[in-house]
Structure formats: C-alpha cells, structure tokens
Amino acid sequence: MTKYLVDLFKRTPGDVIDKVVYLTEGRLYPDFVDIDIGIAEKIALKALAMACGLPPERVEHELRHKGDIGTAAESLLKEKKQGTLSRKELSVEEIYSSLDRIARTKGPGSVDMKVRALSGLLSEAKPVEAKYILRTITGKMRLGIADMTILDALAQAFADKSARQIIERAYNLTSDLGDIARTLCTEGLEAVRKYHARVGRLVRMMLAQRMESAGEILEKIRRPICEWKYDGERIQIHKLGDEISLFSRRLENITAQYPDIADLARRSLKVKEAIIEGECVAVDADTGAMLPFQDLMHRRRKYGIEEAVREFPAHIYLFDALLIEGEDITQKPLIERRERLRNAIEETAGFRLVNYLISDNVKEIETFFESAIENGCEGLILKSGDSTYQAGARSWLWIKLKRSYQSKMIEPIDVVIVGAFMGRGRRSGSYGALLVSVYDSERDVFPTITKVGSGFTDEDLKNMPEVLAPYRLEHSHARVESGLEADIWFTPAVVIEIIGDELTLSPVHMCAYNRIRENAGIAVRFPRFTHRWRMDKAPEDATTVDEIIEMYRARLRKIEL
C-alpha cells in the first residue's frame, strides 16, 4: 500500500497534492473541519439516473443486481456512452471543486441542488471515473489507508525514511496531512521541521499509560502532579479573539454541542489567543455534583441542543495549555504550562483547574485517590512536572491510576467492534455476539481479544445492526487481525467498554500474540458489555496491547504473592 502511495505522490503536482491526500482518505478536509464529503445513497441514485437519462427504478434494479453503486454506475454509463467519443479527462481540481460545492450545499432545496450538481459531474465522467467518484462519496471506497501509512509514503516520496519523525511531529501538532504534503512537495522538509501549534489546527492529544499502584508509578515519575481523572469528555479549546472552537479527542469539531462551554471560554479566558485542554463533565443541575460520563453523551446530538444544555449542564476542569498569545509552549515543562494556564483564566464554578496534589508519598496519594473516587472521578492521572506536551503520544510521563476491581475481576477495558456472529433462538435475526479488538499502537493494527455476547439488553440487540450498518464490510478489514471467522465484518470504528473475569492465554485471539507465549495471544474470559458506548473514542483510543500485557503481568505478580 505504501509503495503505491509513494508512486502516486511522486507523480502529483504540488498544487493539488493536498486534495489527492484528502481524497485518498475518502474526505475533502482534515478531520477537524466540519465539511463532510458523504452523500446518501438515495441522492447518489437519483443523480446517476439523471446522468444516464434513465428512470430511477431502472438504476435501482441495476444496483440490486450488482450490489454496489460504483459497479452499477460503470455498467450503466458504458451502455449510455457507447459509441460517443471519449471526452477529455477530468482533473483532480474539477472533481474536488464539484464535490466541495456539493458538500457545502445546505438548507431548503439543497437535495435537488446536490442531485443536479452530482449528475453534472457524472455526465462529464468516464464510466470508470464515475465508479470511483460514487464509491468515494457514498463511503464505499474504504481503502483502509491509515494516517500512519500516508506519513510513511510522504517521507519516502519527498525525503527518506529518516524524515518520518519530523513529518510525524508536524502531523501531531497540526493534524492536517494534506497541508503537510503540500508543504513537503513545494517547500521541502526544512519547512515541515518549522511546524508549530496553531490556533484552528488540532493538536493531537497526549495520552496516558496505565499502572496498577501508586507505588509502581512513583518508581517511574518522581514527585508527580497527581490530578483527579474526571469521567467526562476531553476537550481542546481554541481561542482567537471572540472566536472559540472546541475539538474532541477524535478530532471532531464539537463547538455546536457545547455552546455553554464555548461561552464560558469566551468569558473566562483572559488572553486573546490560546489552546488549552480540559475534561468536560456532566453535573447535576440541582446539586452541582458530577455525573457519570453516560449523562454527557446526551449532548452528542445534532438537534435540540438548547434543551440538552438546560437538562444536562456541564462543567470543564482544565489541566493543560499548549499555546498562549501565539506562543507554542508544548516544549515547556508541565509545571510551567500549568502556571501559564492559571494566569490565563478567571476561574468560575464551571470553568476551573483540575483538583491536584503534588506528592511522592504513597499514603497521601492513595487518600487523594479515594477522594477522587468518592466524588465521581475514575481515579487519578499522575504526571511528570518536567514533561513536555508529547502530542499524539501515549507516554509514561502521564500514568493513570484507576480503581481496580475485586480480586479476580479485571478492570474494564475499551475495545473496538470488528465483527459479529449471528444470534440464535431469542436472538435470531440480530447479533448473538460481537468480535472485539484492542489497539496495537506499535504496528497500527487491531488484534482481537474476545467475543462478547452478554451484558446486552433487548434494546441494545435490536439497535446494534443499525448502529453498525455504516461500517459493514464483505471481508475482514485490512487492519484487523483475527483467528476467528466472523459472520459479518466491520471497519473498526465503534468503541465499547467491557469487563471480564480474567485475562487468559488463548490460541485464537491475536492480542499480544507470541509476546507472552509462542502461538498464543491474550483473551478476556467471561466478558460482558458494561453499557458504556464510548462514542467519544476513536478506534485508536481503545485499550492498547501494551496495556493488556501490563495488566496480565500485574495479575501474575499478584497470584505469585
């Protein structure tokens, strides 16, 4: 895959390479820009019918017969265009600007306008071009190219493998692969080396490792800053003048869902230009007490935001600053960044710094941990005061300490759904169990860890096929590693939390395969769904293989004791 991309990038002119990169990933802009290439299949069908001069029923019939809108379009257009002279080739710019116009069309009458614009584009296209245009905009292309593959290919195309680190750093600071590709191609590697955090471009968030006891963590971090680990949603706030944007950890722009937080930021951030981070938590409207994460998910909706804000108010607890008054401070130590943060804000009940303690006393930290749990937090995150902000990294400079459960039971973990098995009996017609994976961050793949069938309510079972429908695949995804043959496969996209009785070695699951014992991976025994849909998490935010290995080893140590 990388080799194909290298060839493609080398042959692409600098003025369109950003567009080529976005289109390769099936989009028009980087993640954090809220303009979606996607078009409903119904609209695509109408446009195709119009372009072919056929009744929609005929096109629908062809689609049913071929099973894929791209192939259907190719054969219908071939029929129609037979004998006509082939036209000039469509350019990347032409296709991109048409798709961009279609994506930006909103409001009354927009469906008709989209149909007409798309039909115009399809009439200009050769049959094979129409095939790929339609697959791209209906989300059926699914090349499965990960950001990391594009980074590799860019390094090889425009520099050499050793440049990979510089390019990745730029990516972690700006999250915009198209922009980096254009800079590399037109200005070279030196210009990419100068990248820094900028308002409006998402900085990929720094993440934490996990350990089982405060004592263990103190061996890694001296006199850590111990912060409450709030049970909410991570938000990166960008401010320029009165303009506020909020971004999620999945790189989405979520400003519209949190108008109250945006308002607080506008009023309480005293500086003109800033990027800061915090955890947003749902609170009880009457008592101000923190509520579990699930309550915050009511805010994840498109319509009725005003009522949701009233019904489910939220506060934000701030813990980091990455840029203040135009200055990128990601390379300053955490202690200093927090000081800059403190000076940049006016604290109020809804907008304030996290609770924290600086200590290297195990007892003291444990008591602080208990108070965090009592107040509805998940535990603590212990951070090195000297550490820089390591954009995009899960590092040992931040280590989380979560509540561990009774003796045998492991802590809950976040897994991504990659497959399903059809149900029987009461569950026939729906899914009987899901095949789930963790994330191997070193190899950028999703090895399976268990098959989970319990903990689902009837309601869950009924909704599951619909929730997962957009991610359905005919075959297993290129980045999924599985020893089991699922009935249905999915693109890794939806993250759920599960808990199990213990971690065991398993010959069929690929998590940590050959890492503990030859020909065996690690699996979760007796897993159940905890009812937490982690819609806020990207598949790459699932629990990692390294964390599972650490949990497995910790368990062994306890048994030995």
Out of 114, 135, 229, 338, name the contact with ligand AMP by CB under 6 A: 229
Of the candidates 133, 160, 135, the residue with the CA atom closest to the CA atom of residue 6: 160
124 binds ligand AMP (CB under 6 A): no
367-426: contacts with ligand AMP (CB under 6 A): 381, 400
Nearest approach, Cβ of residue 344 and ligand AMP (Å): 17
| Tokens read off for 136 | 């791209």
- Alpha-carbon separation of residue 515 from 305, 445, 521 (angstroms): 47, 15, 7
- How many residues touch ligand AMP under the rule CB under 6 A: the total is 12
Nearest approach, Cβ of residue 230 and ligand AMP (Å): 4
454-513: contacts with ligand AMP (CB under 6 A): none
493, exposed or middle or buried, with CB in 10 Å at 0-12, 13-18, 19+? Answer: middle
Of the candidates 264, 299, 298, the residue with the CA atom closest to the CA atom of residue 278: 264
- Alpha-carbon separation of residue 27 from 10, 320, 495 (angstroms): 21, 31, 22
Out of 354, 365, 410, 538, name the contact with ligand AMP by CB under 6 A: 354
Residue 280 to residue 237: CA distance in whole angstroms = 11
Sign of CA dihedral 385, 387, 388, 394: negative
Nearest approach, Cβ of residue 552 and ligand AMP (Å): 18
Which among 224-232, 341-349, 363-371, 444-452 is the span making contact with ligand AMP, rule CB under 6 A?
224-232
122 binds ligand AMP (CB under 6 A): no
Comparison of 198 and 400: residue with beta carbon closer to ligand AMP: 400
Nearest approach, Cβ of residue 271 and ligand AMP (Å): 21
204 binds ligand AMP (CB under 6 A): no
Single-letter amino acid, residue 40: A
Comparison of 218 and 354: residue with beta carbon closer to ligand AMP: 354
319 binds ligand AMP (CB under 6 A): yes
Nearest approach, Cβ of residue 354 and ligand AMP (Å): 4
Out of 179, 227, 295, 440, name the contact with ligand AMP by CB under 6 A: 227
Residue 36 to residue 487: CA distance in whole angstroms = 30
352 binds ligand AMP (CB under 6 A): no
Residue 364 to residue 359: CA distance in whole angstroms = 7
Comparison of 50 and 382: residue with beta carbon closer to ligand AMP: 382
Task: Count the neighbouring beta carbons within 10 Å of the beta carbon of residue 221.
Answer: 21
Single-letter amino acid, residue 230: Y
422-451: contacts with ligand AMP (CB under 6 A): none
Out of 279, 497, 540, 546, name the contact with ligand AMP by CB under 6 A: 279
Which among 229-237, 342-350, 361-369, 553-561 is the span making contact with ligand AMP, rule CB under 6 A?
229-237
Comparison of 230 and 431: residue with beta carbon closer to ligand AMP: 230
Nearest approach, Cβ of residue 228 and ligand AMP (Å): 6
Single-letter amino acid, residue 373: I
Residue 121 to residue 132: CA distance in whole angstroms = 12
Comparison of 152 and 231: residue with beta carbon closer to ligand AMP: 231
19 binds ligand AMP (CB under 6 A): no
| Tokens read off for 200 | 């409006």
Nearest approach, Cβ of residue 129 and ligand AMP (Å): 42
17 binds ligand AMP (CB under 6 A): no
Comparison of 476 and 543: residue with beta carbon closer to ligand AMP: 543
Nearest approach, Cβ of residue 229 and ligand AMP (Å): 4
- 437 alpha-carbon distance from chain centroid: 15
252 binds ligand AMP (CB under 6 A): no
18 binds ligand AMP (CB under 6 A): no
Residue 254 to residue 11: CA distance in whole angstroms = 37
Contacts of 18 (CB under 8 A, 6+ apart): 178, 179, 181, 182
230 binds ligand AMP (CB under 6 A): yes
89, exposed or middle or buried, with CB in 10 Å at 0-12, 13-18, 19+? Answer: exposed
Backbone angle region of 531, left / alpha / beta, with phi > 0 → left and psi within -120 to 50 → alpha: left
Residue 325 to residue 333: CA distance in whole angstroms = 17
Nearest approach, Cβ of residue 357 and ligand AMP (Å): 12
Catalytically annotated residue among 19, 46, 131, 229: 229
Comparison of 32 and 230: residue with beta carbon closer to ligand AMP: 230
Comparison of 134 and 538: residue with beta carbon closer to ligand AMP: 538
Per DSSP, the three-state class of 35 is coil
Residue 19 among the catalytic residues: no
For the chain, first and last CA: distance in Å?
Answer: 48
Whether the CB-CB separation of 523 and 413 falls below 8 Å is answered with no
Unique residue bearing structure tokens 């923190």: 290
Unique residue bearing structure tokens 């990601």: 330
* Chain position whose Cβ is nearest to ligand AMP: 234
Helix axis angle for 2-10 and 17-24, nearest 10°, is: 160
- DSSP code at position 162: G
Out of 114, 201, 234, 477, name the contact with ligand AMP by CB under 6 A: 234
- Active site residue ranges: 229
Chain residues binding ligand AMP by CB under 6 A are: 207-208, 227, 229-230, 234, 249, 279, 319, 354, 381, 400
